[in-house]
Amino acid sequence: MDKMKVTYEAMLSLTAEMVLDDALRKYRTEQIYQEIDKALATGDRISFRLLTDELKSMN
């Protein structure tokens, strides 16, 4: 019974970590898109290039 509890807790922990990672990735992606929009609006090519590279590396 104890082994089953440990296994369950480990799986629960991994699931929580996956959910958190996914939420953080989505949040950062939204931030990057907003910053890309800003860079386009201001004509900041360097920031645009850096941000699009970061976005590509996340996938």
In this prediction, residue 59 carries a pLDDT of: 72
d(CA 40, CA 59): 22
- Write down the pTM of the prediction: 0.79
Residue from 2, 51, 1, 5 nearest 28 by CA: 51
In this prediction, residue 1 carries a pLDDT of: 58
22-55 pLDDT per residue, tens: 999 999 999 999 999 999 999 999 999 999 999 9
Residue 4 has pLDDT above 90, yes or no: no
Surface-to-core class of residue 17, CB atoms within 10 Å of its CB (0-12 exposed, 13-18 middle, 19+ buried): exposed
Phi-psi region of 40 (alpha: psi -120 to 50; beta: other; left: phi over 0): alpha
What is the total residue count of the chain?
A: 59
